[in-house]
């Protein structure tokens, strides 16, 4: 079954096909950009959490470790 369309209909079908292709390509590009943004945000969040954990660890370590002046004074008194 061969369908014969008018020349105008064929041109319209071709134009519609081109527009559909452009829309699909645009949607794919937007999805790619969105996935890049999501990956970047996730990485930023992981790095932020790691930095905050390290800062907390450093803060806890400096709070439990005596300062160098106190350590020197206690060493000179015991000698």
pLDDT digits (tens, 9 = 90+) for 3-30: 788 999 999 999 999 999 999 999 999 9
Confidence of residue 1 (pLDDT cuts 50, 70, 90): very low
Q: Yes or no: say if 13 and 5 are a contact pair by the CB < 8 Å rule.
A: yes
How far does Cα 38 stand from its chain's mean position? 4
Residue-range domain boundaries for the chain? 14-67
């Amino acid at each position: 079954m061969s369908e014969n369309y008018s020349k105008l209909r064929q041109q319209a079908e071709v134009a519609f096909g081109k527009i559909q292709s452009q829309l699909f390509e645009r949607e794919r590009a937007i999805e790619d950009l969105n996935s890049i943004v999501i990956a970047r945000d996730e990485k930023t969040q992981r790095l932020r959490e790691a930095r905050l954990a390290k800062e907390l660890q450093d803060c806890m370590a400096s709070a439990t470790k005596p300062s160098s002046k106190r350590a020197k004074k206690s060493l000179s008194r015991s000698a």
